[in-house]
Structure 1
Amino acid sequence: MSKPSTASVDRPAIEQRVAPTGLVREWRDLMARHANVTCALEKELQRRHRIGLSEFETLDRLVDAACETYRMSELAAESHLSQSALSRAVARLEREGLVSRSMCTDDRRSIFVCLTDKGRAAHADAAPTHREVLEQTLR
């Protein structure tokens, strides 16, 4: 017995597919918009400043916090990065001298991140690019 060709399998043609509606459509539109903005930010931040979006977002949160130290677990929750993704971003920032990490003396499980002067300068340099791309892609 021979296998049916893929052309003979009863699948709806692309033109006959039903377009998603309601929440599914909203979700897909949101995901497409997010991907568009994220890709544009990543590309321009890398090209102009040699910094990734995760690293910039981490610096941006540290600048916004306006505090000496920031607990990694709180930073992960606010930056919408997983703990491991944030750890990798912070490690890259630390290698570049843009942040420093320290252990909490009261709770050895907690790690604090501190923005350095070099990190403040890198953020100040890249922030206009970030805001410019947001303006271009979200408006």
Structure 2
Amino acid sequence: MVADVSDVAELSLVEEWHLLLARHAAVFNALECALQDEHGLGVSEFEALEALAGCDHQCRAADLTDAVHLSQSATSRLVARMEREGLVERAMCDVDRRGVFVTLTEAGWTRFRTAKPTHRRVLRETLR
């Protein structure tokens, strides 16, 4: 039986998807291992610290959710964990009491600065 053009295109598309998933898993796992071993951080914690460092050390929790690519509830658990570790602080928005701001602490800023070279090294090693 001869595959028609649409079958070949579909197989190519699915193969491309699987290659993307494999590359993502390889990079994510390498980052997770290096950040955890060297700095006691997971990838999500590092991404949250980086997002906060990039937005003048404070942002709305909803904006942090977009930056770390997690659900709202998963981001809330992440922030609670990071708050217990002293990396961030949460505060209610004075204008909108439903809004929550997440602020990078000095300990969080220090941990981000020390972990950033590891993050970038792993990216160079796995993406190039």
TM-score range, shorter chain: 0.7 to 0.9
* SS of alignment partner, residue 97 of structure 2: coil
1:116 aligns with 2:105: yes
Residue 52 (structure 1) shift: 1.0
Determine the C-alpha separation between the residues in 2 that align with 1:68 and 1:38: 25
Q: Which runs of 5+ in 1 are unaligned?
A: 1-17
Residue 69 (structure 1) shift: 2.3
Which string of whole-angstrom CA distances, capped at 9 and with x for unpartnered residues, describes residues 75-119 of structure 1?
Answer: 111221111121121111111111100011221211100011111
* SS of alignment partner, residue 95 of structure 2: coil
Match of 1:50 among 21, 24, 40: 40
* SS of alignment partner, residue 51 of structure 1: coil
Match of 1:95 among 84, 93, 108: 84
1:62 aligns with 2:57: no
Comparing 129-138 with 87-96, greater Cα deviation is found at 87-96
Residue 4 (structure 2) aligns with: none
Aligned CA RMSD, in angstroms, stands at 1.5
Read off the aligned partner of 2:49 and give its amino acid letter.
L
Which string of whole-angstrom CA distances, capped at 9 and with x for unpartnered residues, describes residues 111-138 of structure 1?
Answer: 1000111111000111111001111110
Q: Is the 8 A contact 2:47 2:67 kept in 1?
A: no
Larger Rg: 1
Match of 1:83 among 67, 72, 92: 72
Residue 46 (structure 1) shift: 0.6
Residue 59 (structure 1) shift: 0.1
Residue 22 (structure 1) shift: 2.1
Residue 68 (structure 1) shift: 4.7
How many residues are paired up?
120
Determine the C-alpha separation between the residues in 2 that align with 1:108 and 1:85: 21
Read off the aligned partner of 2:13 and give its amino acid letter.
L
Q: Is the 8 A contact 2:48 2:67 kept in 1?
A: no
Match of 1:128 among 117, 120, 126: 117
Q: Is the 8 A contact 2:62 2:72 kept in 1?
A: yes
* Same amino acid, percent of matched pairs: 53
Higher helix share: 2
